Amino acid sequence: MSLFNRRNRQLSPTPAGHALAQEMEFSLNHLAQVCVDIKGVEHAEIRLELYSLLAVKWLIPRLGDF
């Protein structure tokens, strides 16, 4: 299963990649809310390990939404 289409130096998500990104976003938001519920604070800390490409192309652009 391919998650990205590569064209020259650009990546774009395949339908499977887009679906996975949506599910990951939902799951990470849910995990953040669980941390808030457990700790009782709104600034819970979550540590992630991921490939740099995923961090640069997906995670970093969305960090402001947290």
Per-residue pLDDT for 44 more than 60?
Answer: no
Q: What is the pLDDT of residue 50?
A: 84
Judged by phi (left if over 0) then psi (alpha if -120 to 50, else beta), residue 24 lies in alpha
Q: How would you class 57 by CB atoms within 10 Å of its CB: exposed for 0-12, middle for 13-18, buried for 19 or more?
A: middle
- Report the greatest alpha carbon distance in the chain: 47
Look at residue 55 in the predicted model and tell me its pLDDT.
84
Tens digit of pLDDT for each residue in 1-43?
A: 899 999 998 889 999 999 999 999 999 889 888 877 887 766 6
Query: Using CA atoms, how far apart are residues 4 and 12, in angstroms rounded to an integer?
Result: 5
Query: Do residues 22 and 28 touch, judged by C-beta distance below 8 A?
Result: no
Give me the pLDDT at residue 34, please. Answer: 85
